[in-house]
Amino acid sequence: MFQPIKNHISKLDYYWLTHSNLPISLINSANFTRVTREGLVLADIEIKKGKIIQIVPSDSVNINPDFAINLQQRIVLPCFIDLHTHLDKGHIWERSPNLEGTFKMALDTAIADGEKYWQAQDVFSRMEFSLKCAYAHGTKAIRTHLDSYGEQPDISLRVFQDLQQQWQDKITLQAVSLVTIDYYQTEEGGNLAGKIEKVGGILGGVVYINPDLDSQLDHLFKIAKARNLDLDLHTDENGDVESIGLQKIAAAAIRNNFTGKILCGHCCSLAVQSAEVVNKTLELVKEAGIAVVSLPMCNLYLQDRQTESYLTPIWRGVTRVHELKQKGIPVAFASDNTRDPFYGFGDLDMLEVLEQAVRIAHLDTPYSNWIDSFTKIPGEIMGLNDSGIIAQDIPADLIIFPGRYFSELLSRSQHNRIVLRNGKPIDTTLPDYSELDDLVFKPTHQK
Ligand SMILES: [Zn+2]
């Protein structure tokens, strides 16, 4: 059933996708009156020369049957936006596994791998492999953090720029520097900010609670303002009740009258703090205009890993996404790490992130407009206003899934999805893992 649809579309420059189920939150809803419990509407989408011409309620206009492709209620989404990844670390698992599964071992193992292997060719090949995966799964924009101590940004940013150019028609790429924020108080850190500005990147870092945090943040905001850079900060990636980095960042943004965009990733500890602390933090985050990105798969993996008192994890590791959303704070979800010491799995498939986030964070009762957090909201945060939505006059970058309702979409593998870019189906074959064999040693079978 599905393959003939793909073959049919690939022969047409002009067609309608009829009887498609679209999330109402991702379209201009003016003409739609019948909405399902899951927030879906039945729509006909007119596509011409790679662009969306119009979206109308199904059966409301006469369509020439020669140009109509009936999707029979299958879900259609805009191509995904992956707001927080680490492409430079991706796919090193076989040569540098994290056999404890702890955050500390992840950090130590990744640093050691970087020192040993991260020359241009190694970084390039693994990043390119990840882009191939993401593209085939239907992602059209990715923001990646890049480890940026010492000489590494000279290598990684050059590789990033090469890939950004080579992939510009397929995936929009943004880079974020990744160091602890005290590094920006050093001369090397100052230089790093200059390098990030040069590549049009985002100033990033890890925020740890320490006695000098306020002055470190003030300095960070000062250089971000001076260079007109947005911020993207790893925040409170732990289960420590004392970790109030998010609150500190928000207060610093207000204190420094910062007008750029701020994105905070993880914010796990918010989930273990008292209602009083949470309320104060949310007030400040809202006032400061901060957006939050949750990384549910990596959090589930890394948070609450065995401690001395128990072995089985007892909390999910994700931040309070519902409370944030209720407060009107933009919330996105993203992949984070892929097959590296911070997360041993993953394939940069945002549908998997959606599936897992729905289960881990209970996004299903109701689904409401949570789908925006994988599409429209990360698109807005990345400044891509024609992405993550389904609208008139924008490229027909869409994913057609076999599933008709969320329960079908999120239950059975959707690997046979059709990805349209500029109205044409792309090859969704995933790269073979053997492409990485020269970079990561092949595991030996022990005797
Ligand atoms: Zn991260």
> Phi and psi dihedrals of 154, rounded to 5?
-65, -35
One domain, residues 64 and 121: no
What was the pLDDT predicted at 310?
Answer: 76
Question: Ligand 1 centre from 340 Cα, in Å?
Answer: 12
Cβ distance 385 to 55 under 8 Å? no
Q: Give a yes or no: residue 121 inside a domain.
A: yes
One domain, residues 252 and 317: yes
Question: Ligand 1 centre from 333 Cα, in Å?
Answer: 12
- In the chain, the amino acid numbered 57 is P
Torsion angle, CA of 163/341/207/349, rounded to 10 degrees? 50
One domain, residues 157 and 293: yes
One domain, residues 251 and 345: yes
Question: Ligand 1 centre from 336 Cα, in Å?
Answer: 5
CA–CA gap between residue 407 and residue 164 (Å, rounded): 36
Question: Ligand 1 centre from 358 Cα, in Å?
Answer: 20
What was the pLDDT predicted at 330?
Answer: 98
Q: Give a yes or no: residue 442 inside a domain.
A: no
Among positive and negative, which fits the CA dihedral 308, 313, 314, 316? positive
- In the chain, the amino acid numbered 109 is T
Question: Ligand 1 centre from 335 Cα, in Å?
Answer: 9
- The neighbour count for residue 363, using CB atoms within 10 Å, is 23
What residues form DSSP beta bridges with 77? 399
Last residue of one domain, picked from the residues 320, 352, 381: 381
Catalytic residues: 237
One domain, residues 166 and 278: yes
Q: Give a yes or no: residue 439 inside a domain.
A: no
Question: Ligand 1 centre from 52 Cα, in Å?
Answer: 34
Q: Give a yes or no: residue 147 inside a domain.
A: yes
Number of domains in the chain: 2
Question: Ligand 1 centre from 424 Cα, in Å?
Answer: 33
Q: Give a yes or no: residue 331 inside a domain.
A: yes
One domain, residues 70 and 96: no
Strand pairing category for 424-425 and 418-421: antiparallel
One domain, residues 239 and 102: yes
What was the pLDDT predicted at 444?
Answer: 60
One domain, residues 164 and 194: yes
One domain, residues 96 and 65: no
Q: Give a yes or no: residue 403 inside a domain.
A: yes
Nearest to 234 by CA among 298, 173, 278: 298
Q: Give a yes or no: residue 269 inside a domain.
A: yes
Q: Give a yes or no: residue 115 inside a domain.
A: yes
Question: Ligand 1 centre from 144 Cα, in Å?
Answer: 9
Question: Ligand 1 centre from 274 Cα, in Å?
Answer: 25
Question: Ligand 1 centre from 368 Cα, in Å?
Answer: 27
One domain, residues 130 and 38: no
One domain, residues 127 and 253: yes
- The CATH number given to whatever domain includes residue 265 is 3.20.20.140
Question: Ligand 1 centre from 84 Cα, in Å?
Answer: 6
Domain that holds residue 408: 2-79+389-425
Question: Ligand 1 centre from 294 Cα, in Å?
Answer: 10
One domain, residues 238 and 366: yes
- The CATH number given to whatever domain includes residue 398 is 2.30.40.10
pLDDT tens digits in sequence order for the chain, 447 residues long: 688 899 999 999 999 999 999 999 999 999 999 999 999 999 999 999 999 999 999 999 999 999 999 999 999 999 999 999 999 999 999 999 999 999 999 999 999 999 999 999 999 999 999 999 999 999 999 999 999 999 999 999 999 999 999 999 999 999 999 999 999 999 999 999 999 999 999 999 999 999 999 999 999 999 999 999 999 999 999 999 999 999 999 999 999 999 999 999 999 999 999 999 999 999 999 999 999 999 999 999 999 987 677 789 989 999 999 999 999 999 999 999 999 999 999 999 999 999 999 999 999 989 999 999 999 999 999 999 899 999 999 999 999 999 999 999 999 999 999 999 999 999 999 999 999 998 876 556 655
Classify the phi-psi angles of 387: left when phi > 0, otherwise alpha if psi is within -120 to 50, otherwise beta.
Answer: beta
